[in-house]
A and B are shown apart, each in its own frame.
Chain A
Amino acid sequence: MKIKFLPSILLFGALAVAVPLTGGEGTGNPFAQAKFVPDISLILDSSFVIRDLEDPWFSDLFLPGFSHAGPGVRALELDEANVGKGFNLNYAELSLASVVDPYFDLFAVFHLSPEGFEIEEAYFSTRRLPAGLQIKGGKFLSQFGRINGQHSHYWDFGSPPLVQSAFFGGGGLAELGLRLSWVAPLNIFLQFAVEILQGHNEMSFGHQGFDAGGISIATVDGPGLVVATVKSSFDLGNLTVLAGISSASGKSRWPADLENDNGASAFAGTAAVFGADITFKYLFDSIRYLSLQTEVMGRTSRGDRYGLEVVNGWSVCEQRSRQEGFYSQAVARLNKRLRFGARLDLIWKNDLSFAGMTQALPKNLMRYTAMGEWNPTEFSRLRLQYTYDRSRYEESGGIWRQRPVHELTLQVNITIGAHGAHAF
């Protein structure tokens, strides 16, 4: 949902109006509204990237098989941050939050980046429903799995896990819709939730229809995606365990410009993503902890593949895929300022078939990541991250060739304004 600059100008215009109001009280303005200004914060995220591959070559690499169409997904589509060599302004994130009235809270998070303005989240949540129920509505990050619900500045690494970006894209599963959750009245944390979503995720649940040689595939009318999650957590002394299972299933459209993009194919069908996650966090004292986190994800899809080939012309056939992977990470906080972490990413299953014919796709896509952080305060962070990426491939004439990439990223993340509370 990227729009160009007009909305950002409007937004800053609105803030410019709000700010002088805050000076109202001292001058005895009887209409001063300063006390009602919502909690505002601005987070800047920028980086410097060193990589052993020139940008145009890097952006031509594929993650084989991770799309319903074409040979793969171009690396650039998987990455939202730290894309180019040298300096990157990843985003300036503006967030607003406030109690609305006795019945609702409102949250909004806007990503401003050189590419434009993006409403990352804008939703209300209820505050008065009985019996542990809560409804959330608007655009929000789905609570699927462990990572997806977190904003990127809460991540322990500068990049999302490989399974996360392969199945949901760099921006994650952020959708329009409604969420109903229920916390059970138990001594341990047990939460059930269902999300009814529009289904616009470009990696797994697209909605856009397309034309394929006189056949017209209709756009999916929303809502086209259902997410269900169960999460539970308990404490054993200083150890906290959080585990969850999630599923997302819905209609899927992957349009392509078949007439002009040689070799591309389009897809219409259904997809389902399943996830299981577990986190162990052990507190040694108020400052030091060790956290181990693993998330397994799998996706199956089936439907029709539409293609246009030079020799055979238009073709339609059944397409099926089954892909599975996980990430595992360990993060240790040594003192108020230092944190270190390592992560292993692996996609071990990568099956794709057209009309029952298995396609020769690389399996065991791997990536290794290590990071060290220096946090002068809770409001500023410097992160040095090394990535050895063996998941990206070159393709020519149906032959896949791995192109390992070494990458070093220095990332700066700075927050001003309202004090953000840390989720677990």
Chain B
Amino acid sequence: MNMKKLILILAAFALAFPLIGAKLQVVTTYPYIAGLTEQVGGDRVDVRALAGGQWDPHTIMAKPSFIAKLRRADLLIINGAQLEIGWLPPLLNQASNPKVNVGARGLLDLSRSVKMLDVPDNVSRAHGDIHPDGNPHYYLDPHNMLPLAEAIAAKLSELDGTGVQAYRKNLADFRVQWNAKLEEWDRRLADLKGAMVIEYHQNYDYLLRRYGIELLGTIELLPGIPPTSRHIQELEAKIDNASVRFILQDVYNPDEASRHIATKHHIRLIKLPHDIGAVREADGLFSLFEEIIRRLTHD
């Protein structure tokens, strides 16, 4: 065997095998969590998100490659509140990684760090594929990012004691930058207080409530159930008696019904990213919210 061949084989192995280093291997379910973890973890962590930001977070395809990622994780950070219920549990079982299995120290559920809205008193699927632990789309309120970052910093410090100083510093830096942004975003969204909107799915409720924006109704009939023509008629009747500013549409649900209503009632239709990677401009944590706010305030 000549030298060239040997080098090629070694290179192939190096590509196939992960680099075993001192870095903490963090897997997150969604890209926004990866973005946040990079802010806090800096260069002490290797972060990978399982789901792509362009996909519907409720129904991510459970790819076997996710098992390979989960198998090697030191820490798994999830959104929680049952957003991952339809795809993550069997992958976790198959990965059988004692570090990140349910109950292990290396599993962090971020929904425990924020106050959940709309926790139903009683649950029935007659109301659609509802979220029994409350609306899980809490991360689309930019003010919720700070408690989430704190939870991640605390967990990283717990698992990687030698990095405590670094995580503390990264968190402090992030807090300063984020607070500056929050001030700006709060100012820009203040004008929308009292405005009336329609959403496709209750994706942006936390954002709407933070800024006093009112929700008239959803395009979908019930959570996860596509609109019927009768439901659209009822929604249109409500529109006639209200002054609706926007229709908020995510990137993954069909937008025919939203477009129909927007044209017919001369309402602006805004496509909002729901995660990093959902639209080209939202390529990081700051730009995700920057883009949401730009699209909401741009006339």
Contacts and interface: CB of A to CB of B under 8 A. Distances in A.
Interface of A: 99, 102, 105, 125-130, 132-134, 183-191, 231, 233-235, 240, 242, 281, 283, 285-287, 289, 335-337, 376-379, 416, 419, 421-424
Contacts of A337: 226
A378 B129 contact: yes
A128 B101 CA distance: 8
Interface string B92-106: 011111100111000
A189 B67 contact: yes
A286 B64 contact: no
Given A186-B16, A377-B224, A421-B89, A286 B94 contact: no
Interface string B212-233: 0000000000001110000000
A102 B107 CA distance: 14
B194 interface: no
B254 interface: yes
A240 to B, nearest CB: 5
29 contacts: A99-B102, A102-B103, A127-B93, A128-B98, A129-B96, A129-B98, A132-B95, A133-B96, A134-B96, A183-B67, A183-B68, A183-B94, A185-B17, A187-B16, A188-B16, A189-B68, A231-B64, A233-B65, A234-B65, A281-B61, A283-B61, A285-B252, A286-B253, A287-B252, A335-B254, A377-B129, A377-B225, A421-B62, A421-B86
Contacts, number: 118
Nearest to A418: B85
Contact of B61 (A184, A377, A424): A424
Given A128-B98, A185-B18, A378-B86, A423 B62 contact: yes
Interface string B48-67: 00000011100101111101
A45 to B, nearest CB: 18
B64 A421 contact: no
B26 interface: no
Contacts of B181: none
Contact of A183 (B16, B71, B101): B71
Contact of A188 (B61, B65, B226, B252): B65
Contacts of A184: 68
Closest 3 CB pairs of A and B: A233-B64, A286-B56, A134-B96
A421 B85 contact: yes
B86 A185 contact: no
Nearest to A133: B96
Contacts of B185: none
Contacts of A99: 102-103
B128 A377 contact: yes
Interface in B72-129: 72, 82, 85-90, 93-98, 101-103, 125, 128-129
A134 B69 CA distance: 16
A149 B217 CA distance: 43
Most buried by B among A99, A191, A379, A424: A424
A183 B97 CA distance: 10
Most buried by B among A234, A242, A286: A286
B257 to A, nearest CB: 13
A191 B67 CA distance: 10
B55 A132 contact: no
A148 to B, nearest CB: 16
Contacts of B94: 134, 183
B143 to A, nearest CB: 27
A185 B252 contact: no
Contacts of B56: 286-287
A239 B226 CA distance: 26
Contact of B90 (A189, A286, A379, A421): A421
